[in-house]
Chains A and B, each alone.
Chain A
Amino acid sequence: MKRIFKPGLLIPVAIIVVLAIWPLLSGNSASSREAMFTLIMSMALASSLNIILGYTGYVSFGHIVFFGIGGYAGFWAITELGWHILPAALLGGFMAALIAWLLGLAVLRLRGAYFALATIGILEAMKALVINLDFLGGPVGLEMHFSEYKRYGGPMESLWMVYWSMVFLAILVTVVSYYIKTSKFGLGLMAIREDEDAAEVMGVITPRAKTWAYVLSAVFPGIIGVLFFFKNGNIEPGDAFRLHFSIEWIVMIMLGGAGTVLGPVLGGGIYQWLRKTLLTSPIFKDYQLVVAGVMLLVIVLFVPTGIIGWLRARSAKLRRVFE
């Protein structure tokens, strides 16, 4: 129980909590709620991906496939079966986990670039498949009637409900991420990252460990997908399986520091805040993509361990505080 009070966990959770209640403190709550939603969603997504990418060292490039699978499963349950959002979200997470488990058995045998390519292939295959499935609306996707929100007390209440669920999820992901990092299981994952063959020799049952890491990193994007598309009111293959968004998660992790608990939280927040600032700024509006590209390049070339990694390397004191 003592582990709860470690700064390694407290700092990221505190960051999320402070951001989460910001809409209540600032005057214009709806607008800041939407801004914070994007930020906190990115933090949760980046933290989930970090479990397989940062700890285990497997570059899951098309990780958004789980966001899409979960989103479709949950959205379908809501619109076609009339489910409540809560079981629907759980269904989304379950489907994502199930498919990650099945896929993991096969593709986690691949290493390095081969694994990265395979995840892109899986993403594109899944997207093409969904386009051909009529019960999921094919290329048109599914739409939700506006009156659905009435079930939760009206649209405004629904949005707040989705928002708080997202905050809860983000904290949950962080806690899970922290526990993995400080557990024996996590140690096994990091051994795999450093040298998979050596890890095997040292007694890590690598296939099992990798599959679990993959499943854990897929559950949360699945649930988040349901929340996101419920909030949007519709779902389309192009939005649910957008490779570019997936790559952005990796950028967030790199920015904050891969393989750390705090890194993805910080990276997700900073990345989305920067993008928004650039997007709405008149100077960089046309060149926001270029500016983002240059910054990414600078980080990869000169600060490859991300903000947290850099800080940890500078000072032994910080090393004790940041996980």
Chain B
Amino acid sequence: MGNVLFTSAIDGLLIGVIYGLAAMGLTLIFGVMDVINLAHGPLIALGMFGVYLLFTFLGLNPFLAVAIVAGLGLILGVIIYFIAVNRVIDAPPLSSLLSTFSVNMIIIGVGTAMLSTSSYNVDYSLGTMNLGFFKAPGARIAASLVALLTTALLYLFLYRTRPGKYIRAVANNRISAELMGIPSTRILALAFGIGVMLATVAGGLIATILPINILAGGSYELKSFVIVVLGGLGNPLGALLGGLILGLIEGIVPVFMKTTWVPVIEYVLFVLILLVRPQGILGAKE
């Protein structure tokens, strides 16, 4: 029993890091511009297929492919920002919810027509790591490490570089940031781009360990909502913590009860935290 618990906990944490990375993109965008990006799921799916296509047709190492996908994700994010978000940035929340949802429909529509909803596999393996008491596929550990690395880079960027500081300034108070001479529209576009980039990177990493299809992003999007609320809306580090908590719940709860109760617990917890502590465990955006 103790062993099962331990193994389940580590399994949960490994996948939790990736959940956290996926949610980070959502929370960053919300923190900076109060927009809930409903195209988040399909963008994760695009990241998955980016890695799949680069790996399958160009034979690239999937982790190298993730880096390329990250660059493409950034560009795509900036484009989406200028087309769908910029115009409704000051409108009531409903407008940006719907404009990003329309991006969701467009991506899913094109994706289904081109790729169908079939499942694809990135046929890549790093063997099984065996520590005696614990066994895990190597690719899964590698993916989790890359996710941690990405988080660290994001923090370096936000706290050590000028554009990163600009983003934080705009998140804090857009009007005063503008008064200080920060080009807010460009910074918002950059922040949106980075949010999308994080989503695609998470998707790419998921593709290295799990089967993918064009609709697969949807369930990660829902998980991201839960994570973001757990960790505090707008707080990227909180998203990592939220991801780990969600991973742990998914790992440990099935040891004690039927797996089908996991989503009930997750979503009830989600609503409760919104009600009792809407700023999340680590507190909302600074």
A and B touch in the complex (CB under 8 A): yes
Interfacial chain B residues near A290, Cβ < 8 Å? 105-106, 109-110, 113
Tell me whether A122 and B271 are in contact (CB under 8 A).
Answer: yes
Interfacial chain A residues near B226, Cβ < 8 Å? 121
Tell me whether A132 and B260 are in contact (CB under 8 A).
Answer: yes
Interface residues in A105-120 by Cβ distance below 8 A to B read: 106-107, 109-110, 112-114, 116-118, 120
Tell me whether A254 and B267 are in contact (CB under 8 A).
Answer: no
Interface size on B, as a range, is 35 or more
* Interface: A73 (CB within 8 A): no
Chain B residue with the shortest CB-CB distance to A123: B267
* Interface: A23 (CB within 8 A): no
Q: A110-B275, A113-B34, A121-B270 are in contact. Are A300 and B102 (CB under 8 A)?
A: yes
> How distant is A51 from chain B, measured CB to nearest CB, in Å?
15
- For the residues of B in contact with A, the DSSP-based class is helix
Q: A113-B36, A116-B97, A296-B101 are in contact. Are A289 and B112 (CB under 8 A)?
A: yes
Q: A59-B94, A300-B98 are in contact. Are A132 and B88 (CB under 8 A)?
A: no
Tell me whether A292 and B105 are in contact (CB under 8 A).
Answer: yes
Tell me whether A300 and B88 are in contact (CB under 8 A).
Answer: yes
Interfacial chain A residues near B98, Cβ < 8 Å? 250-251, 254, 296, 300
Tell me whether A114 and B104 are in contact (CB under 8 A).
Answer: no
Tell me whether B258 and A132 are in contact (CB under 8 A).
Answer: yes
A-B contact count (CB 8 A): 126
* Interface: B283 (CB within 8 A): no
Tell me whether B112 and A301 are in contact (CB under 8 A).
Answer: no
Tell me whether B264 and A297 are in contact (CB under 8 A).
Answer: no
B271's partner among A53, A107, A292, A301 (CB-CB below 8 A) is: A107
What residues make up the interface of B, taking CB atoms closer than 8 Å to A? Answer: 30, 34, 36, 83-84, 87-88, 91-95, 97-99, 101-106, 108-110, 112-113, 222, 225-226, 229, 233, 258, 260-261, 263-264, 266-268, 270-271, 274-275, 278
With A128-B260, A287-B109 already in contact, 11 other A-B pairs whose C-beta atoms are closer than 8 Å: A53-B94, A116-B36, A118-B275, A125-B267, A250-B98, A286-B113, A290-B113, A292-B109, A293-B109, A300-B102, A301-B88
6 A-B pairs with C-beta separation under 8 A? A59-B93, A59-B94, A287-B113, A296-B101, A297-B106, A300-B98
